[in-house]
């Protein structure tokens, strides 16, 4: 009898296609769960890894003692590889990095901005494999020069904090040149196995999904939060504007609601205080991040879907129902295999029925 937490398996042809990603992550299925604040906690991460995929804890700006406890709780749930995602611009970032190095995590992900070379080296010296986000080719080149072992390309279709370039462009700009050098994982706008299969054919080592896993039964996100995702259309997941270069803000993609309107009001208020010399730009940027952390808690944890932030990628329009995590992973694997099989048939000429 199959254990509820026994690993999901790839099909033989997917095993061949994704060998590099499987070996790098140390998993059966090179599908990563993106690190989502208030959502990617020890329960979801531990289960993801136990099911043969790859979980990643969201560090955010969590108090160091709580973050250390999250790491320990995850280690108690699984003996399989998992990562923690560090936000390099968070005030507690260096304390988080120190905690992960001491915990001897198998993988460490740097996100939010560009880490220093010394920080990448510190992570590698702890024995961890280092993964870095690359939103353009120059950043990818610099991260590899710093010693990154793998890259994550996240397109602007993703939810939460995003870059400016779409997944399709990043694939053309970075994957072709660097996909043979290091494992390259793709994120942003991915919710189906069909897409994962074709990314593998293009040379990707694996894929990272976030929005799709929010609606897993085992995800601790509030049910109202999940139901909004199921009803939403892709075009309703919009990104925030930056009102002035005096206050650089990283764009956030979320479903349009009061939280998005309130963020616009916050930017205008902070700009007035900056001009009046009442706070520094760094303090203003911290207030921005503080807003999103609190607003997301209202939505994802407390279920206030009117005022709380509803961070979601454009793939939200592809989500149809709440499912057990195992079922989601099995569906992704099945559909990826179907996609690869169809591609192989087309390359071979297809059947008579298909050609007619």
pLDDT digits (tens, 9 = 90+) for 272-283: 999 999 998 888
CB 97 within 8 A of CB 123: yes
Mean pLDDT, range 184-205, rounded to an integer: 97
Q: What is the pLDDT of residue 356?
A: 35
The SS3 call for residue 111 is strand
CB 284 within 8 A of CB 274: yes
Find, among 57, 56, 4, 48, the residue nearest to 28 by Cα: 48
Torsion sign over Cα 235, 240, 243, 244: negative
Q: How confident is the model at residue 355 (pLDDT cuts 50, 70, 90)?
A: very low
User: How does DSSP assign 188-215, residue by residue?
Assistant: SS--SHHHHHHHHHHT-SEEEESHHHHT
Domain spans of the chain, in order of start: 12-221+316-346, 223-301
Residue 133 has pLDDT above 50, yes or no: yes
Residue 301 has what DSSP assignment? I
Read off the tokens for 318: 């592809």
Mean pLDDT, range 321-350, rounded to an integer: 96
Q: How confident is the model at residue 1 (pLDDT cuts 50, 70, 90)?
A: very low
Residue 352 has pLDDT above 60, yes or no: no
Helix (H) or strand (E) holding 291: helix 281-296
CB 278 within 8 A of CB 175: no
Torsion sign over Cα 125, 131, 134, 140: positive
Sequence-distant (≥ 6) Cβ neighbours of residue 205 within 8 angstroms: 18, 20, 21, 24, 30, 150, 179, 183, 184, 185
Separation of alpha carbons 34 and 175, rounded Å? 19
Q: What is the pLDDT of residue 351?
A: 54
CATH fold for domain 12-221+316-346 = TIM Barrel (3.20.20)
């Amino acid at each position: 009898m199959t254990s509820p937490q026994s690993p999901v398996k790839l099909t033989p042809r997917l095993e061949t296609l994704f060998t590099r990603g499987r070996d790098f992550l140390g998993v059966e299925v090179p599908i990563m769960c993106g690190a989502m604040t208030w959502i990617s906690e020890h329960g979801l991460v531990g289960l993801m890894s136990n099911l043969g995929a790859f979980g990643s804890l969201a560090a955010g700006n969590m108090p160091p003692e709580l973050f250390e406890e999250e790491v320990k709780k995850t280690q108690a749930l699984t003996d399989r590889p998992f990562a923690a995602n560090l936000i390099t611009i968070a005030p507690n970032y260096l304390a988080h990095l120190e905690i992960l190095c001491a915990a001897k995590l198998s993988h460490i992900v740097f996100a939010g901005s560009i880490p220093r070379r010394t920080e990448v080296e510190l992570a590698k010296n702890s024995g961890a494999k280092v993964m870095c986000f690359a939103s353009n080719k120059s950043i990818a080149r610099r991260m590899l020069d710093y010693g990154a072992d793998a890259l994550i390309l996240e397109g602007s279709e993703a939810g939460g904090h995003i870059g400016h370039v779409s997944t399709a462009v990043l694939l053309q700009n970075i994957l072709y040149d660097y996909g043979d050098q290091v494992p390259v994982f793709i994120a942003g706008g991915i919710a189906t196995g069909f897409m994962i299969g074709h990314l593998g054919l293009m040379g990707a080592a694996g894929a990272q999904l976030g929005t799709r896993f929010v609606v897993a039964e085992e995800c601790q996100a509030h049910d109202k939060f999940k139901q909004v995702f199921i009803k939403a259309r892709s075009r309703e997941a919009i990104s925030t504007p930056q009102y002035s270069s005096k206050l650089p803000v990283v764009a956030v993609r979320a479903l349009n609601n009061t939280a998005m309107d309130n963020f616009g009001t916050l930017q205008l208020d902070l700009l007035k205080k900056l001009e009046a010399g009442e706070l520094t730009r760094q303090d203003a940027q911290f207030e921005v991040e503080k807003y999103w952390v609190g607003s997301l808690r209202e939505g994802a944890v407390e279920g206030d879907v009117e005022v709380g932030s509803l961070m979601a990628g454009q793939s939200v329009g592809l989500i149809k129902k709440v499912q057990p995590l195992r079922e989601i992973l099995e569906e992704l694997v099945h559909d990826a295999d179907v996609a690869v099989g169809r591609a192989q048939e087309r390359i071979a000429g297809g059947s008579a029925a298909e050609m007619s």
